[in-house]
C-alpha cells in the first residue's frame, strides 16, 4: 500500500545561462546537449547514487520541436548514460516547466510510487523563440476568449502597471538595478558559481568553456534604465532593462524520499512542504504567483509571515513588485532574491524553476535560523506556481 513520504530536494545544478541569438554563447550548442550536461554534472556531484535507482526523468521545454522535442526526459536520460531501464518524459508548462517537473516527480515520490527522480528543464530560445511553430486556435480571438496581447508577455506586464498605478516605472527600474547589483555581488563572493556546470562551446574563434552567465550587466545605472525604449507600447513602462531577456540554458535537480536519502547516503538540502498552481486572466498573467502562493500557504497551514526567504522569478520587475505589494513586503526586503534574479541572470523559460530552488537551498545552508522559504513564478497564458520548502538545518526541522 502506498503511503505519504517525505520528499527532499537532494541537489540541483544548472548550465550557465547564455544570451539567445547568433551572438549568444550557446548559438552552436544543441538544446538536448545543454540538459544532458546539467544531468551528468548532477550525477557526478552525487556519486553515491546508483543510477539504476533513478525511477524517472522529467525534463521540461516550452517549444517541443527539433532538438527540444522527442520526449526529452527519455532521450536526455539515454544521452546522459543512464541505464536503459530508466524511463523519462517531457513536460510543458511554459515558464514553470522545471517547477512542474519537480512538483510532479515530488508528488510521485510522496505517493510512494518512486524513490528517486531527476527533474529539470531546458530552453534554447535562440534556436526556438517563444511561440515559434505554434498555431493558436482562432477561437481565442474570434470568441474574445483572450485579448490579442495575452500571448505577448510584455503587454501583459504593461497591464499590471495599468491596474496598479503605484507600481511605477521608476520602482521597476530600481528593482531591476538592485537585481543587477545583487547578482554582481553574489558572483564576486563566489555564491553563484558553486551550482554551475561548465559547458564546452564552439564559436568562430574555436572552442571555449562557458563558466558564467552571459546576460548580467553590472554597469547598469538608473539613468541608463530610464532611457530605454518601451517596445510593447508607446510611453510604456516595460523595457529590456526591467524584464528578463531571451536566454538559453538548462537545469537539473535530484529528488528523493526520506527513506532513499537514508539508504543511499544522499543530502537533504530542502524538504518539500507544499506546492500549488493556479490560473488567472491570461491578459495579466504576472499576478499568478499571488493566488498560487495563497493556495500553497493554505495547504501547508502557514502564513506569509512564516516565510523567511523568497526566490521569485523576475520575468518582469513589475510582476515581482505586484507580489510584494500584495503581501506587504518592501521592494528591497533582504529576504527576497538575496543574490538577484532573472532580470540579470536570464530566464530560459522551462529551466528557471530549478534555478530558484538551487539558490534557495544555498540560502538555507547559510541561514539555519530560517525555517521556511518559497520559490514562485508567473506562467504564460495566465497561471502562477509556488513551492514551499523547509530548511533541514533549522533547529525545529522534523518537529510539528
Report d(CA 51, CA 397) in Å as an integer.
29
Cα–Cα distances (Å) from 75 to 17, 58, 72, 86, 135, in that order, read 22, 11, 5, 11, 26
Which one of the listed residues 95, 124, 128, 161 is annotated catalytic? 95
- Which candidate, 111, 105, 74, places its Cα nearest to that of 89? 74
Contact 252, 12 (CB under 8 A): yes
- Which candidate, 226, 255, 222, 251, places its Cα nearest to that of 239? 226
Which segments of 20-161 are extended strands (E)?
A: 56-60, 88-91, 116-124
The verdict on whether 128 is a catalytic residue reads: no
Query: Grid coordinates representing 297?
Result: 500557504
Quote the crossing angle between the two packed helices 352-366 and 97-111, to the nearest 10°.
70
Report d(CA 53, CA 352) in Å as an integer.
26
58: left (phi over 0), alpha (psi -120 to 50) or beta: beta
Place of cell 530560459: 348
Which one of the listed residues 3, 378, 393, 394 is annotated catalytic? 378
Kindly give, in sequence order, each residue whose CB lies less than 8 Å from that of residue 398, ignoring residues fewer than 6 positions away.
392
The SS3 assignment for 130 reads coil
The SS3 assignment for 34 reads helix
CA atoms within 13 A on the CB side of 5: 25
Contact 397, 306 (CB under 8 A): no
The verdict on whether 3 is a catalytic residue reads: no
Cα–Cα distances (Å) from 116 to 11, 73, 119, 258, in that order, read 12, 15, 10, 10
Contact 341, 389 (CB under 8 A): no
Contact 379, 100 (CB under 8 A): no
Which one of the listed residues 124, 161, 347, 363 is annotated catalytic? 347
The verdict on whether 378 is a catalytic residue reads: yes
Query: Grid coordinates representing 253?
Result: 535537480
- Which candidate, 134, 136, 154, places its Cα nearest to that of 145? 136
Q: Which residues are catalytic?
A: 95, 347, 378
Amino acid at each position: 500500500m502506498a503511503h505519504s513520504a517525505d520528499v527532499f530536494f537532494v541537489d540541483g545544478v544548472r548550465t550557465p545561462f547564455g544570451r539567445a541569438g547568433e551572438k549568444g554563447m550557446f548559438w552552436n550548442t544543441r538544446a538536448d546537449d545543454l540538459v544532458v550536461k546539467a544531468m551528468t554534472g548532477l550525477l557526478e556531484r552525487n556519486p553515491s547514487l546508483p543510477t539504476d535507482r533513478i525511477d524517472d526523468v522529467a525534463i521540461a521545454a516550452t517549444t517541443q520541436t527539433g532538438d527540444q522535442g522527442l520526449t526529452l526526459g527519455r532521450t536526455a536520460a539515454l544521452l546522459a548514460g543512464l541505464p536503459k531501464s530508466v524511463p523519462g518524459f517531457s513536460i510543458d508548462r511554459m515558464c514553470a516547466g522545471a517547477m512542474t517537473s519537480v512538483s510532479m516527480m515530488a508528488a510521485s515520490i510522496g505517493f510512494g510510487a518512486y524513490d528517486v527522480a531527476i527533474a529539470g528543464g531546458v530552453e534554447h530560445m535562440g534556436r526556438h523563440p517563444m511561440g515559434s511553430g505554434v498555431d493558436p486556435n482562432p477561437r481565442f480571438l474570434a470568441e474574445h476568449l483572450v485579448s490579442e496581447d495575452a500571448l505577448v508577455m510584455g503587454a501583459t506586464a504593461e497591464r499590471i502597471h495599468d491596474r496598479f498605478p503605484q507600481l511605477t516605472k521608476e520602482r521597476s527600474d530600481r528593482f531591476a538595478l538592485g537585481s543587477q547589483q545583487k547578482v554582481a555581488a553574489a558572483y564576486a563572493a563566489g555564491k553563484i558559481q558553486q551550482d554551475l556546470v561548465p559547458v564546452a562551446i564552439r564559436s568562430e574563434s574555436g572552442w571555449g568553456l562557458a563558466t558564467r552567465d552571459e546576460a548580467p550587466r553590472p554597469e547598469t545605472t538608473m539613468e541608463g534604465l530610464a532611457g530605454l525604449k518601451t517596445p510593447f507600447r508607446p510611453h510604456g513602462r516595460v523595457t529590456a532593462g526591467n524584464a528578463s531577456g531571451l536566454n538559453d540554458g538548462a537545469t537539473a535537480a535530484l529528488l528523493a524520499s526520506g527513506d532513499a536519502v537514508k539508504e543511499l547516503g544522499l543530502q537533504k538540502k530542502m524538504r518539500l512542504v507544499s506546492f500549488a498552481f493556479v490560473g488567472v486572466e491570461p491578459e495579466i498573467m504576472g499576478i499568478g504567483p499571488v493566488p498560487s502562493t495563497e493556495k500553497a500557504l493554505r495547504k501547508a497551514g502557514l502564513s506569509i509571515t512564516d516565510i523567511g526567504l523568497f526566490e521569485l522569478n523576475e520575468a518582469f520587475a513589475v510582476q515581482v513588485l505586484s507580489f510584494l505589494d500584495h503581501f506587504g513586503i518592501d521592494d528591497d526586503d533582504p529576504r527576497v532574491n538575496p543574490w538577484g534574479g532573472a532580470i540579470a541572470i536570464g530566464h530560459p523559460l522551462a529551466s528557471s524553476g530549478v534555478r530558484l530552488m538551487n539558490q534557495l537551498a544555498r540560502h538555507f545552508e547559510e541561514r539555519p535560523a530560517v525555517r521556511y522559504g518559497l520559490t514562485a513564478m508567473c506562467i504564460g497564458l495566465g497561471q502562477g506556481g509556488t513551492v514551499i520548502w523547509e530548511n533541514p538545518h533549522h533547529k525545529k526541522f522534523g518537529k510539528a
